[in-house]
Amino acid sequence: MSSIVPGSGKVLKHAKLVLIFWGAGWARSPVISAEELAGVFSAILATPYMAKMAQYNGICNATIIHMALDTSKEFTEQYHNTPVFHSSELPQMIAGHIDGDGAVPAPSIDPDLLYIVISELSVVCRETADPPVEAAGLHDKFDHNGARFHYAWVSNDGSLTSGNMIPKEFVHELVEACSDPDLDSFHVSDDNEIGDKCNGELVTMPKIRTPNAPDGIVIQSYFSALDNACVLPTEYSLKFWAKATQKNLGGGLRKFLPQGGSVRSLLACGNIPPPAGFGIVVSHQNDQLGGELIVEGTHFTPGGRAFISINYIPTRTVSVQRNAYVKSDGTFRFAEEFKFVSTNPQDAAIGVWVTAIDVATGNLVSEETSASIWVS
């Protein structure tokens, strides 16, 4: 695998997506509607898919902030019997809305705005398709009225699961536009970007189902320099986040999440509250061997996994990581015998911090318990 060149390093740290469904065809009851696609895109963004983008100057999860339909365009020009548009039409159309009807917000509301244009069925860009059998996508930038615009075009081959499936084109352009918005930032040394390196690495998302993708949509992975591999994160990894953002987790998680919260929040650059009832109860029972530490969780993801981190830092640093499997009712119970011998009274003075992470959602909770089990 080739290595990633950082270039200028400019990224869209927290991309705010403005979806523009472009073409009169969107008003003619297409098999895959704009609403269905918007639902698919938000479902992708609700997963940890972008979690490993943190390594590219701290990119966080993107969010959709606006959706617009522009059905004024009829694609009358043909090339090899395929309707085409010219790449110059994309900036014209976006700028036209800014100057004209205000149907889409301007970049002045947020420097990380990213316009994603999804064209109607079968339309391709004349400049990138020759012959136009391979509909694909592109991302680029332009300046207008003193503002920098970042945008992408996502082609529409009418499928969520095969060919150049729309969700795949969406994630491809999304990760590239975020990591290389001005075409001078993160790219692979042979002049590809992080999506191009993994173009053929397709993965079904069985949990994202729609009428047109009953077994799940298909997307692609992206290149992770830290893994030197194509990745498609399905879990939030605190360890990876710390490595990617050069944070030291040695002192525990509390300094990053003083009020508790979620790893997903760290990665999304915003607070996403965990579900009601989500939490752990920590207890312990002293015995001749030392003590048993018990952690019981509620409202975790059924069938998922809880990552438990046990930290103790008075005169020594103790850091223990464990996993527990969550039952179908969303609870788990973890119990383990611990003993640390110490004659230093300080060792009993401070509590033991137990942090549990629901790895499916990234929700995190911390509780303290007496250190007496550690010290005898």
Binding site for Zn ion (CB under 5 A): 176, 195-196
Residue number with CB closer to Zn ion (139 or 299): 139
Q: Taking the complex as a whole, how short is the minimal distance between the CB of residue 85 and Zn ion, in angstroms?
A: 19
Q: How many residues does the chain have?
A: 376
Residue number with CB closer to Zn ion (11 or 354): 11
Residue number with CB closer to Zn ion (157 or 176): 176
Q: Taking the complex as a whole, how short is the minimal distance between the CB of residue 197 and Zn ion, in angstroms?
A: 9
Residue number with CB closer to Zn ion (175 or 360): 175
Region for 312 from its dihedrals, namely left if φ exceeds 0, alpha if ψ lies in -120 to 50, beta otherwise: beta
Residue number with CB closer to Zn ion (53 or 364): 53
Token pair, residue 130, equals: 């020759």
Residue number with CB closer to Zn ion (176 or 235): 176
Helix/strand/coil (H/E/C) assignment for every residue in 26-57: HHCCCCCCHHHHHHHHHHHHCCHHHHHHHHCC
Q: Taking the complex as a whole, how short is the minimal distance between the CB of residue 176 and Zn ion, in angstroms?
A: 5
Token pair, residue 24, equals: 């009169």
Q: Taking the complex as a whole, how short is the minimal distance between the CB of residue 94 and Zn ion, in angstroms?
A: 20
Q: Taking the complex as a whole, how short is the minimal distance between the CB of residue 172 and Zn ion, in angstroms?
A: 6
Q: Taking the complex as a whole, how short is the minimal distance between the CB of residue 182 and Zn ion, in angstroms?
A: 15
Residue number with CB closer to Zn ion (36 or 196): 196
Residue number with CB closer to Zn ion (139 or 264): 139
List 21's β-bridge partners, or say none. 69, 118
Q: Taking the complex as a whole, how short is the minimal distance between the CB of residue 194 and Zn ion, in angstroms?
A: 8
Q: Taking the complex as a whole, how short is the minimal distance between the CB of residue 111 and Zn ion, in angstroms?
A: 23
Residue number with CB closer to Zn ion (185 or 309): 185
Q: Taking the complex as a whole, how short is the minimal distance between the CB of residue 136 and Zn ion, in angstroms?
A: 8
**287 with 338: CB under 8 angstroms?**
no
